[in-house]
Structure 1
Amino acid sequence: MTQKIDNLTSLRCFAAWSIVFYHLQGVVLPMPSMPQFALGVSFFFVLSGFILAVVYNGMTWADLPRFYLHRIARIWPVHLFMMAVVMFLFDPFGLLSEFWRPVILLNAVLLHAWIPQSGHVFSMNPVSWSISTELAFYLVFPLLVMFRPVWKSVSIVALLVGLLLLGIDRLGGPIVSSPPWVNSVEVFILQNPAIRLLEFAVGVLAGDLFVRRGALSRRGGTVLEMLVLATLAVFVLSNGSVSAWLGASLSPVIGLWYGQSGGLLVFAALIYVFALQRGALSAALKCRPLVFLGEISFCTYMVHYPIILYGRKSAWMDQAPWQVVALFVVLATLVASWLVWYSVERPGRKWIAGLYSPAARRDREVLRARLEAD
């Protein structure tokens, strides 16, 4: 299935801007941090699994080169560009440092979130940890969808993640903030792909169910959408208290995991229902401005934090009224998102993905034949 689902693209906009709002709290906005706004990352993980399961339904081993090339085209151009921007703005001589060279290399190849140390995970462009985690998902994805039925593969992932959390609870010691270059249980639970894989896998299962669904009536679509949104609201509003209760009554590990990843089933239901496009709410999400903001949402996610950091570095944020600073960050993020999307993401994806097109293969074969003839 290759049909674009515009309302899911629009939902990406809300998730991206919830993360922007999360990073503005306490830095620009005079308010205590509300960690629920960081749940946008979990939504992205579930949505990524769902979309890939729909697009690559029926995937075979022969599809692997195209799949991985398209994944590279999806994330690396913007990631490498933002790495260069961050180095230019904050540490232009970082490559000359013997200490930073391996850190920069791990960032460039998107392996930095695989090391459970905050110094590695949040180095360079801090938000890029999530696409480092996504890289692991991409490596596992073919195994999830090519070994049928998908629910068995996802069940195995759930079992392994559960056992891993149990092992951390028994052996990991107390969950405390650790120095940047020391292994951290907290970082492992919150950012490591071994734990976050379950969210992606649940998205894959939801996408597989979506592809295999039978004919459905369009009656009651709006009610169903409102119901799933109400469920989402209950989860978000209760997330902090439920996480604290789980941490106190069951295990700090489970409480910490639930606080960031516990909405995986709610997000999967939300994505599934809106992908059906049966109600008035999903129809409203097809409006062009929202779809466009969703299309540039990856760039929004990648550019906003360096903008905030640079504003703090230049110290003008501390002098201007917070309303002016917040407006500037929002506008700068919007403009930068569009510029990076238009000049980096779109042409980068097109060029890299084109390397595996039939025309490109024919050109390579002609060139190879000429070289052999010479």
Structure 2
Amino acid sequence: MSDPSRMETGVREQLPALTGARWWAAFAVFVLHALVFLPVYPFQKSALFRNLHWWLPMQLGAAGVTFFFVLSGFVICWSARPGTTRRSFYRRRALKIFPTHLAAALVFVAAASVPVSRLVVWLPDALLVHAWVPTWSTVGGLNVPSWSLCSEVLFYLSFPAALPLVRRIPRNRLYPAVAALLLLIAALHLGLYLWADGPKGIANTFAPRLLNGDESPRYEIHASPRWFAQRDIPVTPSYWLGYTFPATRLPEFYLGVVAARLVRENLWRNLRLGPPLAATALTYATTWLVPIDFKMSALTVAPMTAVVATLAARDRAGISGINASRPMQWLGEISYAFYLIQFPVMVILTRFLIGGHRYGFLGWLCYASAAAALSVLAAAALYHYLDQPIMKRLARPRLPIPARLAARRASTGTGSFPR
């Protein structure tokens, strides 16, 4: 009998287009954050800002997060190696997530002068448990984008136990499994709309928290001393349960897992990227017409799953595109660090350059461009000098003792042939 703690899948194949596509999701999040988290006054109080934010609302960043969650499930299932133990899997995932997360958090702590004596301010974020707490002062308590990592931690914790169940799904039941997950997502959000407290209208309500005056503040509100001094800031139940609560996002991850099986077993036949991209654009446009409970992921998750599966199928078929180019692959590789470091960079720019001055649209555009460039540079440094050395030295799977002895004998010329 095989060890049930071992995860077995097929031989791994490289999927360069999926790597490159990660950048577009991270950049969508950045654009939304640059619009609302760079406190450039009086631009953010102008009619032009309101018009821009109407076209680039909260669901832009939320769409990027949904793509990441589906992609995460796909890649984790696709790259699982035969014979990998749960312990090895958890170790590798922890080494991939926590060093970059903690480095970005430390930059934020220094930039925002976080009161480290108050453990409640930073410890839940450091441990990646803060999204489980239904208060905005905790969910957004430190480096705001890190809330999504709480969901990733849950995904990874559940995967070794769930993978054998996923592998037992018959080939002819994989598409019904996708349909069941989509129905579950729809039912979850419908239930939140009907029974959880929160806004029921269709307006895009997410906007920056504006302070008095036309002079840019020295702190974005989530990085200000007043924010850290507050004991509790309530969050709307429907928003927390539908967007940041990790358990609610779990089906999105497993859509990616099942999609990986569809592609692996050649059941995903579509190689044209146009139709799933058009469907994504259409469902994204529909988010202007539905309540907030459906804006954040429920509408876009199906076509985004199709985009992920199609990109992978194109990679397997040898169809190259812009996402598979070397520059895009590099941007995709640093996208995790870019996603985490962008907000600390914005906090630094706000505190030392933006605060105390007045800027219009061009001023905001210059600072947003500077934030993008500096975030790319910082992300590249984190990826090349922190993430990669750690993954190469510490995260490589350890061979069983007999295999290690055999490799050692081979390297010293003491193989199976008699001397």
Q: Quickly name the TM-score band, shorter chain normalised.
A: 0.7 to 0.9
**Paired residue for 2:7?**
none
Q: Deviations over 1:337-362 (max 9, x none)?
A: 11111111112222331474568x96
Alignment match, 2:90: 68
Aligned to 1:369: none
Matched residue of 1:149: which SS? coil
Counterpart residue number, 1:48: 72
**Which residue among 237, 247, 257 is the counterpart of 1:194?**
247
Q: Tell me which of 375, 378, 382 is aligned to 1:340.
A: 382
Between the two proteins, the alignment pairs up a number of residues equal to 339
Residue 259 of structure 1 corresponds to 296
2:135·2:232 contact (CA, 8 Å) conserved in 1?
A: yes
Out of 157, 162, 182, the position equivalent to 1:144 is: 162
Q: Residue 234 of structure 2 is aligned with which of 158, 178, 182?
A: 182
Give, in angstroms, the shift of residue 24 of structure 1.
1.4
Matching residue of 1:130: 148
Residues 161 and 194, structure 1, Cα contact 8 Å, conserved in 2: no
Q: Are the structure 2 counterparts of residues 171 and 274 from structure 1 closer, same or farther at C-alpha, using a change threshold of 3 Å?
A: closer
- Which of the numbers 72, 78, 101 marks the counterpart of 1:79? 101
The Cα shift of 1:297 comes to 0.5
Tell me, yes or no, if structure 1 residue 314 matches structure 2 residue 367. Answer: no
Distance 1:280 1:208 in 2: 19
The correspondence for 2:23, drawn from 13, 38, 45, is 13
- Report if aligned partners of 1:240, 1:259 keep a CA contact under 8 Å in 2: no
Letter in 2 for 1:291: Q
In 2, the alpha carbon distance for the partners of 1:303 and 1:215 equals 36
Whichever of the two has the greater Rg, that structure is 2
Q: Give 2:352's aligned amino acid.
A: S
Counterpart in the other structure of 1:235: 283
Residue identity in the other structure for 1:336 = A
Are the aligned partners of 1:80 and 1:108 in contact in 2 as well (CA < 8 Å)?
yes
Q: In terms of mean alpha carbon deviation, does 204-213 or 291-300 score higher? A: 204-213
Q: Once the 2 structures are TM-superposed, how far is the Cα of residue 199 of structure 1 from its aligned partner?
A: 1.1
Q: Does 1:329 align with 2:371?
A: yes
Distance 1:286 1:144 in 2: 30
Q: Matches of 2:137 and 2:319 in 1, distance apart?
A: 42
- 1:103 touches 1:112 (CA, 8 Å); kept in 2? no
Contact 1:77-1:349 at 8 Å conserved across structures: no
Question: What is the Cα deviation at residue 288 of structure 1?
Answer: 0.9
Unaligned regions of 5+ residues in structure 2, if any? 1-10, 44-48, 206-230, 406-419
Superposed displacement of residue 157, structure 1: 6.0
Instruction: Report matched runs for 1:235-314 at 5 Å.
Output: 235-241=283-289, 243=290, 247=291, 255-277=292-314, 282-314=320-352
Quick check: 328-337 or 141-150, which moved more?
Answer: 141-150
310 and 146 in structure 1: CA distance in 2 versus 1, 3 angstrom threshold: same
TM normalised by structure 1 equals: 0.80
> Measured at CA, do residues 155 and 181 of structure 1 come closer, stay the same or move farther in structure 2, by a change above 3 Å?
farther
In structure 2, what is the Cα distance between the partners aligned to 1:215 and 1:129?
Answer: 32
The verdict on how the C-alpha distance between 1:343 and 1:358 changes in structure 2, with shifts beyond 3 A counting, is farther
CA distance in 1, matches of 2:138, 2:181: 25
Is 207-216 or 111-120 further displaced after alignment? 207-216
User: 1:357 & 1:91 partners in 2: Cα distance?
Assistant: 44
The amino acid of 1:91's aligned partner reads S
Runs of 5+ in structure 1 lacking a partner? 248-254, 364-374
From 210, 229, 251, the equivalent of 2:263 is 210
Return the structure number with greater helix share: 1
Q: Distance in 2 between matches of 1:106 and 1:171?
A: 28
Moved more, 191-200 or 232-241: 232-241
What is the aligned counterpart of 1:37 among 29, 47, 60? 60
Q: CA deviation at 1:323?
A: 3.2
**Alignment RMSD, CA only?**
3.1
Per the TM alignment, residue 113 of structure 1 is displaced from its structure 2 partner at its CA by: 1.0
Normalized against structure 2, the TM-score is what? 0.72
* Matched AA of 1:324: C
- Distance in 2 (CA, whole Å) between partners of 1:197 and 1:237 is 24
Structure 1 contact 144–153 (Cα < 8 Å) conserved: no
With over 3 angstroms needed to count, the CA separation of the structure-2 counterparts of 1:330 and 1:88, relative to structure 1, is same
